[in-house]
Amino acid sequence: MKPVRILIADDHEVARQGVRALLEEQAGWVVCGEASTGREAVAKAIELQPDIVVLDISMPELNGLEAMPQIRRVVPAKILILTVHESDQVGTEALDAGADGYVLKSDAGRTLIEAIRVVSRGQRYVAAALAPRLAAFEGRRRRASDVLGILSAREREVFRLASECVIARDMARELCIARKTVDTHLNRINRKLGLRNMAELVRLAASLGMLHSARTPGRPEAQTPTTTEE
């Protein structure tokens, strides 16, 4: 299988080294080059023809938002913004300019690998912590598929039910899976989306326009299924 070639562009050498170390742990991924300025990022992209460009915003000569369209004109690479900027306006500008993903450096250790996998599949990745604020800033609902594309089909079902305040026991009955499997899916959802608890999950669902009235608890008891489908 052809390796995934990744270019890292960041003006801080320590940051580049940290990202390189993280990415090179993944089988089939190759860091083909590094750049410390926006102009160098464009030149290296032309020279190396990477599949993915991990691009910082705050760089000399050209910032990431200025370098991105130049890279896009010459290289069919996916561009993933990796930045300290939690500004709603900056995030919106990056995504509207065509960034395939937006990851916060504070969450990179948890989310960067998954973000690269998502954009490699042709989907958009948005940092979960930023998605609600971007939706509010833009004055429109961000499509759920932009954020939840990172989840499997079954995980999206569990996310939907959890957002409706369906308890784990009833999720298991509705989905015909074991209660333990529901817990496994919830843990995976929280890890992938960078969520810490159910309240954050519900807030994210609300920001995506998915939140409707919660279901009434207390449905009749039924035997918990014994399947272990995941």
Based on the fold, state whether residues 88 and 16 are members of the same structural domain. Answer: yes
Q: Which of 49, 100, 87, 93 is nearest to 71 (CA)?
A: 49
Residues 35 and 110 in one domain: yes
In 83-178, alpha helices (H): 88-96, 108-120, 131-138, 144-148, 153-163, 168-175
Q: What is the pLDDT of residue 45?
A: 95
pLDDT of residue 65: 87
User: b vs e for 186-201, b when ≥16 Cβ sit within 10 Å of the residue's Cβ?
Assistant: bebbbebbbbeeeebb
Do residues 20 and 112 both lie within one domain? Answer: yes
User: Is residue 101 domain-shared with residue 117, that is, in the same domain?
Assistant: yes
198 in the same domain as 97? no
Residue burial 38-50, b: 16+ Cβ < 10 Å; e: rest: bbbbbbbbeebeb
Let me know whether 78 and 179 are in one domain: no
Q: Give yes or no: residues 39 and 118 share one domain.
A: yes
Which CATH number do you get for residue 80? 3.40.50.2300
Do 176 and 156 lie in one domain? The reply is yes
The answer to whether residues 213 and 133 belong to one domain is no
Cα Rg of the chain, angstroms: 20
Return the structure tokens found at 40. 């160098």
Q: Are residues 44 and 117 in the same domain?
A: yes
* Predicted pLDDT of residue 30: 94
CB atoms within 10 A of CB 215: 13
Q: Are residues 112 and 225 in the same domain?
A: no
CA atoms within 13 A on the CB side of 20: 15
pTM equals 0.59
CATH number at residue 193: 1.10.10.10
Residues 45 and 130 occupy one common structural domain: yes
User: What are the pLDDT tens digits along the chain (230 aa)?
Assistant: 788 999 999 999 999 999 999 999 998 999 999 999 999 999 999 999 999 999 999 899 988 888 988 898 889 899 999 988 876 677 777 877 778 888 888 888 888 998 999 899 888 888 776 766 565 545 444 556 667 877 888 998 999 899 888 899 999 999 999 999 999 999 999 888 878 888 888 878 877 767 554 454 444 333 334 444 55
Last-in-domain residue among 112, 143, 174: 143
Residue 226, domain extent: 151-230
Tally of domains within the chain: 2
